[in-house]
Structure 1
Amino acid sequence: MAANNVADKIGKEQILEIAKSEIELKVDLFNRLTKVCFDKCIEKRYKESELNMGENNCIDRCVAKYWQVTNLVGQLLGPSQPSM
């Protein structure tokens, strides 16, 4: 019984660490996506309080391409990663 509880606790701790790591990676990905697309699509001199049509389109395309590339890289690197 006691050995089972220890194994459950270790498993839960590992799962928690994996979840924390995954959240950190997602936040980092979102921050990089935001920076790249903002720098690429938004003019440095703000003229209006809202995005214009060109900026909206640019951001839409930038985010779509960023996610596409991220997914493709994940698929290509996924099989080569050691399984846990």
Structure 2
Amino acid sequence: MSYFLGSTGQYAHVEVNPEKIKLAEVQFTVMASTFNSVLSRCREKCIVPEYGEGDLATGEQSCVDRCVAKYVKANANIAQHVQFMMLPDQMPEYKKVEAMMRDCK
């Protein structure tokens, strides 16, 4: 018995679609890459390299908040623009994901 799913016998008849698994892996990879990019960029801009204390100072906290908010807003604006334009052939990221999906088949 699983603590999270209860009795797993109820899922015995469910088939796993390998293409959906691969798509989920690609989405996870893209999200992890975005998260790591935000993390490193905001750390560079906001956190002093010499650590004097274990916690962030108030100025560092507000800088990180603003940095992440700007990054998310810019990402959303770009996604909205790309979705509106629907020009996947001109996007290198689209070609990269497309290649990853081809390799997974």
> What's the TM-score, normalizing by structure 2?
0.64
Matches of 1:73 and 1:62 in 2, distance apart? 16
Q: 2:88 aligns with which of 60, 81, 84?
A: 81
Task: Give 2:51's aligned residue.
Answer: 46
Q: How many residues align?
A: 73
| Percent identity of paired positions between Structure 1 and Structure 2 | 29
Matches of 1:71 and 1:80 in 2, distance apart? 17
Letter in 2 for 1:13: P
Unmatched 5+ residue regions in structure 1? 1-8
Letter in 2 for 1:81: P
User: Which aligned segments of 4 or more residues in structure 1 are displaced greater than 6 angstroms?
Assistant: none
Matches of 2:18 and 2:55 in 1, distance apart? 45
Letter in 2 for 1:55: E
After TM superposition, give the deviation of residue 81 of structure 1 in Å: 2.9
Matches of 1:28 and 1:22 in 2, distance apart? 10
Matches of 1:53 and 1:19 in 2, distance apart? 37
Deviations 1:8-67 (CA, angstroms, capped at 9, x unpaired): x8x922211111100000000000000000000000111111101000000000000000
1:70 pairs with 2:78:
no
Task: Give 1:6's aligned residue.
Answer: none
1:1-84 mapped onto 2 (5 Å cutoff) = 12-78=17-83, 79-81=86-88
Letter in 2 for 1:49: G
Larger RCO: Structure 1 or Structure 2 (Cα < 8 Å, ≥ 6 residues apart)? 2
Unmatched 5+ residue regions in structure 2? 1-14, 90-105
Matches of 1:22 and 1:71 in 2, distance apart? 16
